[in-house]
Structure 1
């Protein structure tokens, strides 16, 4: 099961908490909810991945599409506190060099 929770805006941008699993079944909802939460994307987006237990290539592709959209509006997407398995996937795919990776915990 997947859940996207809008957090409060903070100095580093709009925080969106990702909870659960993003896979082929939850990807359409993830995409719709993420793009709706991003809105016009005039500020940076922080994807808090501390409660994201799993993401597959489809979910990563949606994140890349969201990053492209954000950059078209002169903003960025940061990946915050990914769990070790999620962080490993970003590293294996090279996306840790594409996204800004933040670790606060």
Structure 2
């Protein structure tokens, strides 16, 4: 499955909202990173990556997220992850990336 990416600006919370849909893998992660960084460089806002439609992520997808995180941290901005499915959350826990990214639970606003 391919990856579609929707990017919106949430003016209320001053966030750049990223909604990846499908699989973030070797075939799609480079394009995902380019899209996100292009949008980020225009807006320079904290990022919220909403994983409600993200089905799968592999090591190249994790690498893309880390690359985005490095760029965002240089500007003292943050990346929030929300609605992460259990199978994807497990990858963040195993690789200890849950310590680098701010993962919001469903109860967080």
Structure in which a larger fraction of residues adopt strand: 1
Structure 1 unaligned spans of 5+? none
Structure 2-normalised TM-score?
0.88
Of residues 18, 23, 26 in structure 2, which corresponds to 1:24?
26
Residue pairs, 1:68-79, within 5 angstroms: 68-79=70-81
Distance 1:6 1:85, change over 3 A: same
Structure 2 unaligned spans of 5+? none
- The number of residues matched between the two structures is 105
After superposition, the CA RMSD in angstroms is 1.5
Residue pairs, 1:15-94, within 5 angstroms: 15-40=17-42, 42-94=44-96
Q: Hey, which bits of structure 1, 4+ residues long, moved more than 2 A?
A: none
Structure 1-normalised TM-score?
0.91
